[in-house]
Structure 1
Amino acid sequence: MPNLPELAHRTFFRTLSLLSPKGQGVILRRYFDWWHRTPDPWKLSTDGYEQHKYRSTLEHVPARPYRRIVEVGCAEGVFTHALAATYPDAEITGMDVSGRALARARERVPEEGGRVRFVQADLLTHPVERSFELAFCSETLYYLGRHERLQRAAEQLSGLLVPDGVLVAVHPWPEASRLHGYLDAHESLKRLGEEVYTASSRPFAVTVYGAKPS
Protein backbone atom coordinates (compact mmCIF):
# COMPACT_ATOMS: atom_id res chain seq x y z
CA MET A 1 0.00 0.00 0.00
CA PRO A 2 1.40 3.47 -0.86
CA ASN A 3 2.82 5.44 2.08
CA LEU A 4 1.71 8.95 2.98
CA PRO A 5 4.14 10.82 0.66
CA GLU A 6 3.14 8.56 -2.24
CA LEU A 7 -0.56 9.14 -1.53
CA ALA A 8 0.03 12.90 -1.51
CA HIS A 9 1.95 12.52 -4.77
CA ARG A 10 -0.95 10.66 -6.41
CA THR A 11 -3.50 13.18 -5.07
CA PHE A 12 -1.50 16.00 -6.66
CA PHE A 13 -1.65 14.36 -10.08
CA ARG A 14 -5.34 13.53 -9.77
CA THR A 15 -5.94 17.22 -9.07
CA LEU A 16 -3.91 18.18 -12.15
CA SER A 17 -6.16 16.00 -14.27
CA LEU A 18 -9.05 18.38 -13.54
CA LEU A 19 -7.35 20.74 -16.01
CA SER A 20 -7.85 20.43 -19.75
CA PRO A 21 -5.61 17.81 -21.38
CA LYS A 22 -3.50 20.59 -22.86
CA GLY A 23 -3.22 22.40 -19.52
CA GLN A 24 -2.34 19.17 -17.74
CA GLY A 25 0.37 18.53 -20.32
CA VAL A 26 1.92 21.96 -19.77
CA ILE A 27 2.15 21.42 -16.01
CA LEU A 28 3.56 17.90 -16.41
CA ARG A 29 6.20 19.16 -18.83
CA ARG A 30 7.30 21.86 -16.37
CA TYR A 31 7.20 19.42 -13.47
CA PHE A 32 9.45 16.89 -15.16
CA ASP A 33 11.80 19.54 -16.53
CA TRP A 34 12.20 20.71 -12.92
CA TRP A 35 12.98 17.17 -11.74
CA HIS A 36 15.53 16.75 -14.50
CA ARG A 37 17.42 19.88 -13.51
CA THR A 38 20.01 17.36 -12.26
CA PRO A 39 20.91 14.19 -14.20
CA ASP A 40 19.11 10.92 -13.47
CA PRO A 41 17.01 12.16 -10.53
CA TRP A 42 15.49 8.72 -9.88
CA LYS A 43 18.83 6.85 -10.27
CA LEU A 44 17.40 4.75 -13.09
CA SER A 45 20.87 3.96 -14.43
CA THR A 46 22.36 2.76 -11.13
CA ASP A 47 19.58 1.53 -8.83
CA GLY A 48 19.50 -2.27 -8.52
CA TYR A 49 15.71 -2.34 -8.27
CA GLU A 50 15.35 -0.45 -11.56
CA GLN A 51 17.84 -2.72 -13.31
CA HIS A 52 15.94 -5.78 -12.05
CA LYS A 53 12.69 -4.28 -13.33
CA TYR A 54 14.20 -3.64 -16.78
CA ARG A 55 15.50 -7.20 -17.04
CA SER A 56 12.16 -8.62 -15.90
CA THR A 57 10.30 -6.46 -18.41
CA LEU A 58 12.39 -7.71 -21.33
CA GLU A 59 11.96 -11.32 -20.22
CA HIS A 60 8.20 -11.03 -20.77
CA VAL A 61 8.33 -9.72 -24.34
CA PRO A 62 7.04 -12.41 -26.73
CA ALA A 63 9.90 -13.76 -28.84
CA ARG A 64 9.36 -12.52 -32.37
CA PRO A 65 10.98 -10.01 -34.73
CA TYR A 66 10.17 -6.35 -34.01
CA ARG A 67 10.96 -3.70 -36.59
CA ARG A 68 9.47 -0.65 -34.88
CA ILE A 69 9.42 -0.11 -31.10
CA VAL A 70 8.19 2.81 -28.98
CA GLU A 71 8.86 3.58 -25.32
CA VAL A 72 6.30 5.94 -23.77
CA GLY A 73 7.80 7.95 -20.91
CA CYS A 74 11.43 7.23 -21.77
CA ALA A 75 12.91 9.91 -19.44
CA GLU A 76 16.71 10.06 -19.95
CA GLY A 77 16.82 6.95 -22.12
CA VAL A 78 18.15 4.33 -19.71
CA PHE A 79 15.69 1.65 -20.83
CA THR A 80 15.86 2.95 -24.41
CA HIS A 81 19.57 2.13 -24.34
CA ALA A 82 18.73 -1.43 -23.26
CA LEU A 83 16.15 -1.71 -26.04
CA ALA A 84 18.67 -0.56 -28.65
CA ALA A 85 21.08 -3.27 -27.49
CA THR A 86 18.41 -5.98 -27.29
CA TYR A 87 16.86 -5.21 -30.69
CA PRO A 88 19.77 -4.07 -32.88
CA ASP A 89 17.74 -4.25 -36.10
CA ALA A 90 14.73 -2.28 -34.86
CA GLU A 91 13.83 1.38 -35.22
CA ILE A 92 13.21 2.71 -31.71
CA THR A 93 11.31 5.83 -30.65
CA GLY A 94 11.46 7.28 -27.15
CA MET A 95 8.65 9.63 -26.12
CA ASP A 96 8.62 11.95 -23.11
CA VAL A 97 7.08 15.28 -22.08
CA SER A 98 10.37 16.66 -20.73
CA GLY A 99 12.70 18.33 -23.21
CA ARG A 100 15.44 18.39 -20.60
CA ALA A 101 15.19 14.62 -20.08
CA LEU A 102 15.22 14.02 -23.84
CA ALA A 103 18.39 16.09 -24.28
CA ARG A 104 20.16 13.69 -21.92
CA ALA A 105 18.55 10.70 -23.64
CA ARG A 106 20.09 11.83 -26.93
CA GLU A 107 23.49 11.96 -25.26
CA ARG A 108 23.01 8.46 -23.82
CA VAL A 109 21.65 6.94 -27.05
CA PRO A 110 22.78 9.03 -30.04
CA GLU A 111 20.27 9.27 -32.88
CA GLU A 112 22.94 8.42 -35.45
CA GLY A 113 21.56 6.96 -38.65
CA GLY A 114 17.98 7.49 -37.51
CA ARG A 115 17.58 4.03 -35.94
CA VAL A 116 16.86 5.62 -32.54
CA ARG A 117 14.95 8.87 -32.22
CA PHE A 118 13.42 10.86 -29.39
CA VAL A 119 10.19 12.83 -29.58
CA GLN A 120 8.85 15.36 -27.10
CA ALA A 121 5.21 14.38 -26.81
CA ASP A 122 2.33 14.14 -24.36
CA LEU A 123 0.63 10.74 -24.47
CA LEU A 124 -2.83 12.26 -24.00
CA THR A 125 -2.67 14.77 -26.86
CA HIS A 126 -0.02 13.50 -29.29
CA PRO A 127 -1.44 12.22 -32.62
CA VAL A 128 -0.83 8.48 -32.86
CA GLU A 129 -0.57 6.11 -35.80
CA ARG A 130 -0.79 2.33 -35.83
CA SER A 131 2.84 1.90 -36.74
CA PHE A 132 4.60 0.10 -33.87
CA GLU A 133 4.93 -3.63 -33.35
CA LEU A 134 6.08 -3.28 -29.74
CA ALA A 135 5.29 -0.57 -27.18
CA PHE A 136 6.35 -0.07 -23.56
CA CYS A 137 4.63 2.04 -20.92
CA SER A 138 6.35 1.92 -17.54
CA GLU A 139 5.79 4.03 -14.41
CA THR A 140 3.72 6.51 -16.40
CA LEU A 141 -0.02 5.98 -16.06
CA TYR A 142 -0.35 7.11 -12.44
CA TYR A 143 0.74 10.60 -13.48
CA LEU A 144 -2.37 10.98 -15.63
CA GLY A 145 -4.86 11.14 -12.79
CA ARG A 146 -8.56 10.47 -13.01
CA HIS A 147 -10.79 7.97 -14.79
CA GLU A 148 -11.33 9.84 -18.06
CA ARG A 149 -7.62 10.49 -18.59
CA LEU A 150 -6.72 6.85 -18.02
CA GLN A 151 -9.38 5.81 -20.52
CA ARG A 152 -7.82 8.27 -22.97
CA ALA A 153 -4.36 6.83 -22.26
CA ALA A 154 -5.60 3.31 -23.01
CA GLU A 155 -7.03 4.56 -26.30
CA GLN A 156 -3.77 6.28 -27.22
CA LEU A 157 -1.59 3.29 -26.30
CA SER A 158 -3.75 0.89 -28.28
CA GLY A 159 -3.61 3.34 -31.19
CA LEU A 160 0.17 3.02 -31.37
CA LEU A 161 0.04 -0.66 -32.27
CA VAL A 162 -0.25 -2.42 -35.59
CA PRO A 163 -2.64 -5.41 -35.60
CA ASP A 164 -1.11 -8.16 -33.44
CA GLY A 165 1.34 -5.65 -31.95
CA VAL A 166 2.45 -6.01 -28.34
CA LEU A 167 2.11 -3.58 -25.43
CA VAL A 168 4.05 -4.10 -22.19
CA ALA A 169 2.84 -2.13 -19.14
CA VAL A 170 4.86 -1.97 -15.92
CA HIS A 171 3.62 -0.24 -12.74
CA PRO A 172 3.82 -0.61 -8.95
CA TRP A 173 1.74 -3.34 -7.36
CA PRO A 174 -1.07 -3.33 -6.27
CA GLU A 175 -1.71 0.00 -8.02
CA ALA A 176 -1.02 -1.74 -11.33
CA SER A 177 -4.23 -3.73 -10.85
CA ARG A 178 -6.26 -0.53 -11.17
CA LEU A 179 -4.11 1.15 -13.83
CA HIS A 180 -3.83 -1.88 -16.08
CA GLY A 181 -7.56 -2.41 -15.68
CA TYR A 182 -8.07 0.42 -18.17
CA LEU A 183 -6.01 -1.51 -20.70
CA ASP A 184 -7.98 -4.68 -19.91
CA ALA A 185 -11.20 -2.79 -20.62
CA HIS A 186 -10.13 -1.47 -24.01
CA GLU A 187 -11.82 -3.35 -26.83
CA SER A 188 -8.70 -3.34 -29.02
CA LEU A 189 -6.42 -5.01 -26.47
CA LYS A 190 -6.28 -8.52 -25.07
CA ARG A 191 -4.20 -9.54 -22.07
CA LEU A 192 -1.55 -12.12 -22.93
CA GLY A 193 -0.05 -12.52 -19.46
CA GLU A 194 1.05 -10.91 -16.23
CA GLU A 195 3.63 -11.49 -13.53
CA VAL A 196 3.70 -9.73 -10.18
CA TYR A 197 7.08 -9.37 -8.48
CA THR A 198 6.56 -9.15 -4.72
CA ALA A 199 10.01 -10.06 -3.37
CA SER A 200 11.14 -6.44 -3.54
CA SER A 201 10.18 -3.75 -1.03
CA ARG A 202 8.63 -2.05 -4.07
CA PRO A 203 6.49 -4.74 -5.76
CA PHE A 204 5.62 -4.25 -9.42
CA ALA A 205 3.63 -5.96 -12.15
CA VAL A 206 4.59 -6.62 -15.77
CA THR A 207 1.47 -7.06 -17.91
CA VAL A 208 1.58 -7.93 -21.60
CA TYR A 209 -1.16 -7.13 -24.12
CA GLY A 210 -1.74 -7.93 -27.76
CA ALA A 211 -3.55 -5.70 -30.24
CA LYS A 212 -6.52 -7.50 -31.69
CA PRO A 213 -6.60 -7.83 -35.48
CA SER A 214 -8.61 -5.10 -37.19
Structure 2
Amino acid sequence: MTQPSGTPTPQPAPTPSRSMPDGYFHTMYAHSDDPWGFTQRFYERRKYALTLAALSAERYHRVFEPGCSIGVLSAELALRSDQLECLDLSPRATALAADRLAVYGDRVSVRTGDLVADWPDGRFDLIVLSELLYYLDPHEVDGVVERLSDALTPDGEVIAVHWRRKVPDYPQSGDDVHDRLIASPLHHVAGYSDADLRLDVFTVGPRPSVAQRENLVG
Protein backbone atom coordinates (compact mmCIF):
# COMPACT_ATOMS: atom_id res chain seq x y z
CA MET A 1 0.00 0.00 0.00
CA THR A 2 1.35 3.47 -0.88
CA GLN A 3 2.35 5.44 2.18
CA PRO A 4 0.70 8.92 2.27
CA SER A 5 2.31 12.16 3.46
CA GLY A 6 3.82 12.01 6.88
CA THR A 7 3.77 8.21 6.64
CA PRO A 8 7.08 6.90 5.30
CA THR A 9 7.84 3.20 5.07
CA PRO A 10 7.62 2.14 8.74
CA GLN A 11 10.90 1.90 10.61
CA PRO A 12 11.43 0.08 13.92
CA ALA A 13 9.24 2.00 16.34
CA PRO A 14 9.82 3.04 19.93
CA THR A 15 7.50 1.93 22.68
CA PRO A 16 4.20 3.81 22.22
CA SER A 17 3.92 7.08 24.23
CA ARG A 18 7.67 7.72 23.93
CA SER A 19 9.00 10.38 21.58
CA MET A 20 10.50 9.23 18.31
CA PRO A 21 14.27 8.65 18.66
CA ASP A 22 16.58 11.01 16.76
CA GLY A 23 17.96 8.08 14.80
CA TYR A 24 14.58 7.55 13.12
CA PHE A 25 14.91 10.86 11.26
CA HIS A 26 18.62 10.46 10.53
CA THR A 27 17.85 7.09 8.94
CA MET A 28 15.02 8.53 6.84
CA TYR A 29 17.24 11.27 5.35
CA ALA A 30 20.13 8.84 4.87
CA HIS A 31 17.89 6.89 2.50
CA SER A 32 16.32 9.83 0.65
CA ASP A 33 16.60 13.62 0.33
CA ASP A 34 12.80 13.79 0.33
CA PRO A 35 11.60 10.79 2.37
CA TRP A 36 8.04 12.08 2.79
CA GLY A 37 7.56 13.20 -0.82
CA PHE A 38 7.12 16.89 -0.01
CA THR A 39 8.16 17.93 -3.52
CA GLN A 40 6.25 15.19 -5.35
CA ARG A 41 2.74 14.62 -4.03
CA PHE A 42 -0.42 16.55 -4.75
CA TYR A 43 -1.43 15.80 -1.17
CA GLU A 44 1.48 17.98 -0.03
CA ARG A 45 0.76 20.80 -2.47
CA ARG A 46 -2.87 20.82 -1.35
CA LYS A 47 -1.88 20.78 2.31
CA TYR A 48 0.46 23.72 1.82
CA ALA A 49 -2.24 25.65 -0.04
CA LEU A 50 -4.71 25.03 2.79
CA THR A 51 -2.11 26.07 5.36
CA LEU A 52 -1.30 29.33 3.61
CA ALA A 53 -4.98 30.12 2.96
CA ALA A 54 -5.79 29.68 6.66
CA LEU A 55 -3.31 32.35 7.76
CA SER A 56 -5.14 35.51 8.78
CA ALA A 57 -2.47 38.06 7.82
CA GLU A 58 -1.02 38.90 4.45
CA ARG A 59 2.44 39.34 5.95
CA TYR A 60 4.21 38.55 9.22
CA HIS A 61 7.21 40.15 10.87
CA ARG A 62 8.80 37.14 12.64
CA VAL A 63 7.88 33.51 11.88
CA PHE A 64 9.07 30.29 13.53
CA GLU A 65 8.81 26.97 11.70
CA PRO A 66 10.15 24.02 13.70
CA GLY A 67 10.31 20.74 11.84
CA CYS A 68 11.00 22.57 8.59
CA SER A 69 12.44 19.45 6.90
CA ILE A 70 13.86 20.32 3.46
CA GLY A 71 12.20 23.73 3.36
CA VAL A 72 9.34 23.28 0.88
CA LEU A 73 6.70 25.02 3.00
CA SER A 74 9.42 27.34 4.32
CA ALA A 75 9.91 28.79 0.84
CA GLU A 76 6.23 29.78 0.76
CA LEU A 77 6.36 31.21 4.29
CA ALA A 78 9.43 33.27 3.35
CA LEU A 79 7.32 35.13 0.80
CA ARG A 80 5.03 36.31 3.59
CA SER A 81 7.52 37.10 6.34
CA ASP A 82 10.16 39.68 7.15
CA GLN A 83 12.13 37.15 9.19
CA LEU A 84 11.72 33.36 9.11
CA GLU A 85 13.46 31.06 11.57
CA CYS A 86 13.52 27.39 10.58
CA LEU A 87 14.56 24.47 12.76
CA ASP A 88 14.92 20.74 12.15
CA LEU A 89 16.46 17.81 13.98
CA SER A 90 18.20 16.38 10.92
CA PRO A 91 21.48 17.96 9.74
CA ARG A 92 20.81 16.61 6.24
CA ALA A 93 17.36 18.19 6.17
CA THR A 94 18.64 21.58 7.33
CA ALA A 95 21.44 21.50 4.75
CA LEU A 96 18.89 20.90 2.00
CA ALA A 97 16.58 23.56 3.43
CA ALA A 98 19.42 26.09 3.62
CA ASP A 99 20.21 25.50 -0.05
CA ARG A 100 16.55 25.88 -1.02
CA LEU A 101 16.13 29.06 1.01
CA ALA A 102 19.45 30.74 0.21
CA VAL A 103 17.71 32.95 -2.34
CA TYR A 104 16.00 34.82 0.52
CA GLY A 105 19.30 35.89 2.06
CA ASP A 106 19.56 36.76 5.72
CA ARG A 107 15.79 37.11 6.07
CA VAL A 108 15.70 33.34 6.56
CA SER A 109 17.77 31.36 9.06
CA VAL A 110 17.96 27.57 9.23
CA ARG A 111 19.29 25.75 12.31
CA THR A 112 19.75 22.14 13.30
CA GLY A 113 18.18 21.52 16.68
CA ASP A 114 15.48 19.94 18.78
CA LEU A 115 12.09 21.63 19.21
CA VAL A 116 11.99 20.94 22.94
CA ALA A 117 15.60 21.76 23.80
CA ASP A 118 16.35 24.51 21.27
CA TRP A 119 13.26 26.71 21.29
CA PRO A 120 14.38 30.22 20.24
CA ASP A 121 14.18 33.32 22.39
CA GLY A 122 11.78 36.16 21.77
CA ARG A 123 8.27 36.33 20.39
CA PHE A 124 6.78 35.52 17.03
CA ASP A 125 3.66 36.67 15.23
CA LEU A 126 3.38 33.27 13.53
CA ILE A 127 4.40 29.78 14.67
CA VAL A 128 3.86 26.93 12.20
CA LEU A 129 3.55 23.39 13.60
CA SER A 130 3.21 21.19 10.52
CA GLU A 131 3.50 17.39 10.68
CA LEU A 132 5.56 17.62 13.85
CA LEU A 133 3.87 17.24 17.22
CA TYR A 134 2.80 13.62 16.83
CA TYR A 135 6.47 12.64 17.02
CA LEU A 136 6.53 13.83 20.65
CA ASP A 137 5.15 12.09 23.70
CA PRO A 138 2.09 13.66 25.39
CA HIS A 139 4.19 15.27 28.14
CA GLU A 140 6.46 16.97 25.60
CA VAL A 141 3.48 18.16 23.56
CA ASP A 142 2.00 19.71 26.70
CA GLY A 143 5.34 21.46 27.30
CA VAL A 144 5.32 22.90 23.78
CA VAL A 145 1.70 24.02 24.15
CA GLU A 146 2.50 25.76 27.44
CA ARG A 147 5.25 27.72 25.71
CA LEU A 148 3.09 29.01 22.90
CA SER A 149 1.28 31.84 24.70
CA ASP A 150 4.56 33.38 25.90
CA ALA A 151 6.19 32.83 22.49
CA LEU A 152 3.51 34.78 20.61
CA THR A 153 3.12 38.52 20.18
CA PRO A 154 -0.26 39.83 21.42
CA ASP A 155 -1.74 39.51 17.92
CA GLY A 156 0.28 36.45 16.92
CA GLU A 157 -1.10 33.11 15.83
CA VAL A 158 -0.24 29.42 15.74
CA ILE A 159 -1.23 27.14 12.90
CA ALA A 160 -1.06 23.38 13.40
CA VAL A 161 -1.48 20.87 10.54
CA HIS A 162 -1.17 17.11 10.94
CA TRP A 163 -1.94 13.80 9.23
CA ARG A 164 -5.00 12.29 10.92
CA ARG A 165 -4.60 8.61 10.19
CA LYS A 166 -2.95 6.45 12.82
CA VAL A 167 0.67 5.49 12.19
CA PRO A 168 1.82 2.67 14.49
CA ASP A 169 5.35 4.12 14.65
CA TYR A 170 4.23 7.47 16.01
CA PRO A 171 3.61 8.13 19.73
CA GLN A 172 0.38 10.03 18.97
CA SER A 173 -2.05 10.70 16.15
CA GLY A 174 -2.76 14.06 14.59
CA ASP A 175 -6.13 14.14 16.33
CA ASP A 176 -4.42 13.47 19.67
CA VAL A 177 -2.19 16.53 19.39
CA HIS A 178 -4.92 18.79 18.01
CA ASP A 179 -7.23 17.78 20.84
CA ARG A 180 -4.50 18.81 23.29
CA LEU A 181 -4.19 22.17 21.55
CA ILE A 182 -7.96 22.68 21.60
CA ALA A 183 -7.97 21.95 25.36
CA SER A 184 -5.22 24.52 26.00
CA PRO A 185 -5.79 28.16 27.06
CA LEU A 186 -5.15 29.27 23.47
CA HIS A 187 -8.09 30.75 21.60
CA HIS A 188 -9.26 28.59 18.68
CA VAL A 189 -10.12 30.82 15.73
CA ALA A 190 -10.36 28.51 12.72
CA GLY A 191 -10.22 24.88 11.73
CA TYR A 192 -10.52 22.43 8.89
CA SER A 193 -10.46 18.66 8.78
CA ASP A 194 -11.06 15.86 6.31
CA ALA A 195 -10.32 12.15 6.31
CA ASP A 196 -6.58 12.77 5.91
CA LEU A 197 -5.56 15.96 7.66
CA ARG A 198 -6.53 18.34 10.42
CA LEU A 199 -5.72 22.04 10.52
CA ASP A 200 -6.35 24.46 13.39
CA VAL A 201 -5.45 28.09 14.01
CA PHE A 202 -5.00 29.60 17.47
CA THR A 203 -4.31 32.99 19.01
CA VAL A 204 -3.53 34.11 22.55
CA GLY A 205 -7.00 35.61 22.86
CA PRO A 206 -9.93 36.83 20.75
CA ARG A 207 -9.00 39.22 17.97
CA PRO A 208 -10.83 40.88 15.07
CA SER A 209 -11.41 38.79 11.97
CA VAL A 210 -9.86 39.62 8.62
CA ALA A 211 -13.09 41.28 7.46
CA GLN A 212 -13.34 43.28 10.67
CA ARG A 213 -9.74 44.45 10.35
CA GLU A 214 -10.47 45.64 6.82
CA ASN A 215 -13.69 47.40 7.89
CA LEU A 216 -15.90 45.15 5.79
CA VAL A 217 -18.30 44.58 8.68
CA GLY A 218 -19.64 46.86 11.39
Report the counterpart of residue 92 of structure 2 in structure 1. Answer: 100
**What amino acid does structure 2 have at the position aligned with 1:211?**
V
- Assess, with a 3 A threshold, how the Cα gap between structure 1 residues 12 and 159 changes in structure 2: closer, same or farther: farther
1:87-166, aligned counterparts within 5 Å? Answer: 87=80, 90-110=82-102, 113-145=105-137, 147-166=138-157
Report the counterpart of residue 32 of structure 1 in structure 2. Answer: 25
Deviations 1:64-86 (A, max 9, x none): 4311111111001011011123x
Task: Measure, in 2, the Cα distance between the counterparts of 1:161 and 1:136.
Answer: 12
Report the counterpart of residue 20 of structure 1 in structure 2. Answer: none
Task: Measure, in 2, the Cα distance between the counterparts of 1:177 and 1:16.
Answer: 17
Q: Shift in Å at residue 148 of structure 1? A: 1.4
- Assess, with a 3 A threshold, how the Cα gap between structure 1 residues 167 and 181 changes in structure 2: closer, same or farther: same
**What amino acid does structure 1 have at the position aligned with 2:25?**
F
Report the counterpart of residue 184 of structure 1 in structure 2. Answer: 182
Q: Which is helix-richer, 1 or 2?
A: 1
Report the counterpart of residue 75 of structure 2 in structure 1. Answer: 81
Q: Shift in Å at residue 160 of structure 1? A: 2.7
State the aligned residue count.
192
Deviations 1:137-181 (A, max 9, x none): 011111002x21221121234443122211000012364332112
Please tell me whether the aligned partners of residues 128 and 156 of structure 1 are also in contact (alpha carbons under 8 angstroms): no
Task: Measure, in 2, the Cα distance between the counterparts of 1:36 and 1:156.
Answer: 29
Q: Larger deviation: 125-134 or 37-46?
A: 125-134
Show structure 1 runs of 5+ residues with no match.
Answer: 18-23
Q: Pick from 43, 46, 50: which aligns with 2:37?
A: 43
What SS does the aligned partner of 2:60 have? coil
Q: CA RMSD in A?
A: 2.6
Please tell me whether the aligned partners of residues 135 and 167 of structure 1 are also in contact (alpha carbons under 8 angstroms): yes
Please tell me whether the aligned partners of residues 66 and 90 of structure 1 are also in contact (alpha carbons under 8 angstroms): yes
Show structure 2 runs of 5+ residues with no match.
Answer: 166-172, 207-218
What TM-score does the superposition give when structure 1 sets the normalisation length? 0.79
Deviations 1:31-72 (A, max 9, x none): 212211221111101111011000011110003431111111
Report the counterpart of residue 53 of structure 2 in structure 1. Answer: 59
Please tell me whether the aligned partners of residues 188 and 201 of structure 2 are also in contact (alpha carbons under 8 angstroms): yes
Please tell me whether the aligned partners of residues 78 and 104 of structure 2 are also in contact (alpha carbons under 8 angstroms): no
What SS does the aligned partner of 1:63 have? coil
Please tell me whether the aligned partners of residues 136 and 169 of structure 1 are also in contact (alpha carbons under 8 angstroms): yes
- Assess, with a 3 A threshold, how the Cα gap between structure 1 residues 65 and 178 changes in structure 2: closer, same or farther: same
- Assess, with a 3 A threshold, how the Cα gap between structure 1 residues 34 and 177 changes in structure 2: closer, same or farther: closer
What TM-score does the superposition give when structure 2 sets the normalisation length? 0.78
Q: Shift in Å at residue 15 of structure 1? A: 5.0
**What amino acid does structure 1 have at the position aligned with 2:197?**
F
Tell me whether 1:193 sits opposite 2:197 in the alignment. Answer: no
Please tell me whether the aligned partners of residues 68 and 91 of structure 1 are also in contact (alpha carbons under 8 angstroms): yes
Tell me whether 1:72 sits opposite 2:66 in the alignment. Answer: yes
Please tell me whether the aligned partners of residues 92 and 116 of structure 1 are also in contact (alpha carbons under 8 angstroms): yes
